[in-house]
Chains A and B, each alone.
Chain A
Amino acid sequence: MTLVDRRGRTRERALVITGLRGGPGRPVPGDRSLVRFTAPADIRGTGFLVWEHRDADDERFLYLPALGRVRRIAGSEAQESFVGSDFTYEDIGGRELDDYTYRLLDEDAVWEAPDGTRHPAWRLESTSRDANARFTRIVSLVRKDVPIAVHAAIFNRRGEQQKTFDARKIERIDGVWTVTEMTMTDALEGTRTDLRVDKAEYGVGLRPDDFSRVQLERGIR
């Protein structure tokens, strides 16, 4: 993950994200994810564990190697920054469908990929049901051939287009279409975050224990 600040300075962060889908019939009731930073040196080993619950506040735990202890972190909103980047938790983990209403703006839109190829797409408007949400409206381009949002204009409460999402590279990994390079730009803050996925694996046999607080405290081995 490369974070570019308003003066153009970049910071590199490397992290490993593991996730386990939850829900009825699954080993855990809600999604679980564990984020572990491997670089830079000063936050190496810092871990962040999220237990999502369908009918209750999510639980979040943080491990700071400097303190050597796990701490609970009070919940963050879905539209809050994901680990200090321009992405939100919602951008990374996916949004709750019921949080938005949807309108198809254009059935015959076209998305031009970074390599210049043109792909038919739907232009979709998502409006948050929460009028006080930070970002109330999103206009996305969803490729027709690949069911992935490849571009999004994200509007704030003032109706200004504050953020722009662009998929840079899409790969099919283990049969799953995955955006492996993406950018989120914040025009008002003057910042940008580039996220590159070096390695993605699906169905690797993770268990609930891999998302325990004990596992979080183990840090990087």
Chain B
Amino acid sequence: MSAALARILWPIRWALTIALVLGALAFAPAVSRTTIDNDLTSWFSPDAPVYQQYERFREEFGGTRTLIVALVAPSRDALFTREAFDAIDRISNAIDRVETVERVSSLSTATVVDALPVDAEGIGGIEVRPLIDDVDAKGAVAAAERALDDALLRGDLISEDGTVAAVIVSFDEARIDAVRGGVIDRIHAIVDAELPDGFEAFYNGSLEISETYNRITVQNQTKFTPPILLLTLGAVYVMFRSARKTALTLAAILVSVLWTLGLYSLLGFGFNVLSSMILPLVVVLALADDVHIVQHFDHAIRDGASSKEAFHRAITHLAAPLFGASATTALGMLSLATSEVVAVRTFGIGAAIGVMVDFAVSIVFVPTLLAWMRPESTQPPQERWFLGPLTRVAAFSTSHPRAILGTALAIALMAAAGVTRLQVDTNHIAFFSRTHPLGQSATVIDGKLGGVYGFQIMLEGEPGSMQQPDTLRRMDQLAERIAAFPEVRKVTTLADYVKRINRELEGRGEAGAVIPETPETIAQELFVFTLADEGRHELSRVVSSDASAAQISIKLQAMSSDRLFDYVADVERFAVETFAATGITTTVTGSGKLFAELDHYLVTSQITSFATAFVTVFGVIFIVFRSWRYGLLAIIPNLFPVLAVFGVMGWLDISLNIATVMVASVALGIVDDDTIHFISRFRLERRRGVTVPQAIHAATIHEGRAALTTALINSAGFAVLMMSEYKPSAWFGGMLALTMVVAFLAEVFILPATIVLWSRLFGQQGGTPRPAEAVT
């Protein structure tokens, strides 16, 4: 069938090649228009229940994705000054004027509730007033102390030690994502311009994290792609010592990349942290495919074949294994297309497209240009370099199969022990070094303020139900239970507001900070709060206008998303227990929950996808070789690198997160490719009648060489990623390099040793060679 394909391709090779090049050129402008988007809508389908819950919450209480600005004063005294309050006021006012800003919470906008002294006629009073008014009336020190005295402000807008003030910005979430980068830059500029001497500003919150991710996505594409390409091409040149082949490889990779990104954007998909991994995947696999083609073509030319014969031989020999390897990887990726998470779905489709584009380019574009170019009969230096070592490797692997498999088993056991230490964990803040602005701000906000993470509980019942004393008491109980978690920084409920007003209205000090006995009292006290605009707005974010819904806000320090995922599950259970048989339903939602679920789902879906791809490999190998034995044989060299890499990650305390989990899929794409090529060559040699050791020798020096060449070139290129300030990218680069090396070792040591040790099972001659194979 491969020979037939070669015959079909030869007369139309130029038409197809020109079509590929023109298509790539046509896609080039579309690629530059591809949007970078790490927003909620790029991750969640609008139909996903978790997203709909969040939308329902957002509609009721506004968005929870905030920008937190921590203003760190050089001392408590420096914050307790008019200058500091004035700066916070100017910053808050200026931010409030920025488009899409819905609300600014700060010491400038905060509301306090105070009892008024009894007048001559014996009438006491209550005052719901902006805290900032106290600066004029009582002085900055009194205003700051008043803020510290308020449980709702302390630890949220001002740190307990009085050295850090927060400005928390909420946005109109329907509009912010379209203009987010510019809005955040504008806010940074406002704060920087107004910051008093000696103060420092730190930025965090889910919007700042999203924006940082956008920048990293762009950085991954723009900063690292050129050096990766440069080093890769440098390595290609060193290996082949041919400017033409280097240029050809570059052209082939570019065509693959343009087609992949072009088709991706044509489908309307945007780019995010996950899909930015498509590019390295395409480059790695393109290179692996192209190196195989170039080596086979060269080999045929040096055997005296004409360009046409070399074209036929390369396609005949490689079409099936290349297709098999590509199809398995693509199917694995395509299994993600059913995901509920939009980003996973688009990544799966994009990666599958990329893998198959790589295949098409490598069997059409590369051999066509090789056949067109002046033949180079000189042996590439890498063939000389690798021939001796690979010959010795082949001799060793066929003569010491037990030692090899014993060593492999020992390594596998150590790796398995490492795997047991492997944490499935995505901690977005820990992905950055402590000196990165996001890491620094998390340290400040987690240590001094309400924490950078948060989620909410939405309570829903009959109109008026949230103003019932029993409901408020249950809110209080639930808050107390949640606050016992070590990472929880603050829990705020409607009950806190009611207690605050009641304390001031009753005039009994802390003794009055209780929930009133009657719903009428509660309704009237909340009504008092709405008499001031700030109070009205503040309350509208806590309880619905008809008191049929309320929210409980939980603020946390940065933590692993899996731990957060477990927290959320515990809180969901607590909430259900607390409001059992009350007619009030509880829904845990908010950006913290969304991202925890997302990260958890991303990792689990990738593992599932990998498992699917892994199983598919054997199906495809069975189809390619029409043999269950070889499907079985492929398990060992495919499993070993993945096990080894995950084991190393376990021992190095590198978590399985949204980035590193991708290594498994890429590893499989490379490893199964190598395995298929090796087995294909081995079988061919056996059909020619050579012995098992001879067949292994031929497969090792021919296919092992391609694997080694690919491993060295890709390792050189992707080692660049290890310099990324974003740890997952660095881990991805490092683990990918490791995978390439381990995959190569598995192919030239473990696979041959397995064949030799069970030669009765795997070493069969397999009949006479088919005509297509006989010409190679």
- Are A74 and B116 neighbours in the complex by a CB distance under 8 Å? yes
B524:A42 contact, CB within 8 angstroms: yes
Interchain CB contact under 8 A, A71 and B124? yes
Docked Cα-Cα span, A9 to B546, in Å, equals 8
Q: In which size bucket is the chain A interface? A: 35 or more
Q: What per-residue 1/0 map shows which CB atoms of B93-124 lie under 8 Å from chain A?
A: 10011110010000000000000100101011
A74 and B129 contacting across the interface, CB-CB below 8 Å: yes
B519 and A42 contact, CB distance less than 8 A: yes
**CB neighbours of A157 from chain B (8 A):** 93, 96-97
Residues of B within 8 A of A69 (CB): 123-124
Within 8 A of B (CB), among A10-67: 11, 41-43, 46, 48, 61-62, 64-67
Contact pattern, A 137-181, Cβ under 8 Å of B = 1, otherwise 0: 000000000000000000001100000000000000000000000
Q: Does B379 contact A (CB under 8 A)?
A: no
Q: Within the assembled complex, what's the spacing in Å between the Cα atoms of A77 and B524?
A: 21
* B546, A11: Cβ atoms closer than 8 Å: yes
User: B125 to chain A: which residues have CB within 8 Å?
Assistant: 61, 71-74
Please indicate the chain A residues that have their CB under 8 angstroms from the CB of B523 in the complex: 42-43, 66
Interface 1/0 per residue, B488-509 and A, CB below 8 Å: 0000000000000000011000
A66 and B544: CB pair below 8 A? no
Q: In the complex, what residue of chain A is closest to B505 when comparing beta carbons?
A: A67
- Interface-central residue, B60, B520, B528, by most chain A CB under 10 Å: B520
- A183 CB to closest chain B CB (Å) equals 17
The answer, yes or no, to whether B545 is at the interface (CB within 8 Å) is yes
Most interface-central of A9, A41, A84 (chain B CB within 10 A): A84
A66 to chain B, nearest CB (A): 4
B348 → chain A, closest Cβ, in Å?
36
Number of B interface residues at 8 Å Cβ cutoff, please give it: 42
B65 → A minimal CB distance (Å): 18
Chain A residue numbers with a CB within 8 Å of B139 are none
Number of A-B residue pairs at CB separation under 8 A: 111
Q: Which partner residue on chain B sits nearest A83 by CB separation?
A: B531
**B97, A62: Cβ atoms under 8 Å?**
no
Contact bitstring A81-109, B, C-beta under 8 A = 1, else 0: 10110000000000000000000000000
Q: Give CA–CA (A46, B528) in the complex, Å.
A: 10
Which chain A positions have C-beta within 8 A of B467? 42
The yes or no answer to A76 lying at the interface (CB within 8 A) is: yes
Most interface-central of B98, B102, B545, B546 (chain A CB within 10 A): B545
A5→B544 contact, CB < 8 A: yes
Decide if B119 touches A66 in the complex (CB within 8 Å). no
Q: How far is the CB of B685 from chain A (nearest CB, A)?
A: 73
Query: CA A183 – CA B532 in complex, angstroms?
Result: 21
- CB-CB under 8 A from B97, the residues of chain A are 157-158
Question: What is the minimal beta-carbon distance from A77 to any residue of chain B, in angstroms?
Answer: 8
Residue numbers in B under 8 Å from A80 (CB-CB): 532-533
* B525 contacts A by Cβ under 8 Å: yes
Inter-chain contact B505/A3, CB cutoff 8 Å: no
Q: Are B545 and A46 in contact (CB under 8 A)?
A: no
- Kindly list chain A residues whose C-beta atoms are within 8 Å of the C-beta of B536: 81, 84
- B464 x A42 contact (CB < 8 A): yes
Cα-based distance from A81 to B536 in the complex (angstroms): 8
The answer to whether B524 and A43 touch across the interface, beta carbons within 8 angstroms, is yes
Q: Which residue of B lies closest to A157 (CB)?
A: B97
Chain A proximity of B466: nearest CB distance (Å): 12
CB pair A42–B545 under 8 Å, yes or no, is no
The interface bits of chain B over 508-534 (1 if a CB of A lies within 8 angstroms of the residue's CB, else 0) are 000000001011110111011011110
Cα distance A71–B98 when bound, in Å?
38
A64 touches B123 (CB 8 A): no
Q: Residues of B contacting A48 with CB < 8 Å?
A: 531
B487 within 8 A of A: no
Report the minimum CB–CB distance from B80 to chain A (whole Å).
Answer: 23
Within 8 Å of chain A (Cβ to Cβ): is B126?
yes
Show 24 A/B contacts (Cβ-Cβ < 8 Å), sorted by A.
A6-B59, A9-B544, A11-B546, A42-B464, A42-B519, A43-B527, A61-B125, A62-B528, A64-B505, A64-B527, A66-B516, A67-B505, A67-B506, A67-B521, A67-B524, A71-B505, A72-B119, A72-B127, A74-B128, A77-B533, A83-B531, A158-B99, A188-B172, A213-B123
B residues near A (Cβ < 8 Å) are 59-60, 93, 96-99, 102, 116, 119, 121, 123-129, 172, 464, 467, 505-506, 516, 518-521, 523-525, 527-528, 530-533, 536, 544-546, 548
Give me the 3 closest cross-chain CB pairs, A-B, nearest first: A72-B125, A74-B127, A42-B523
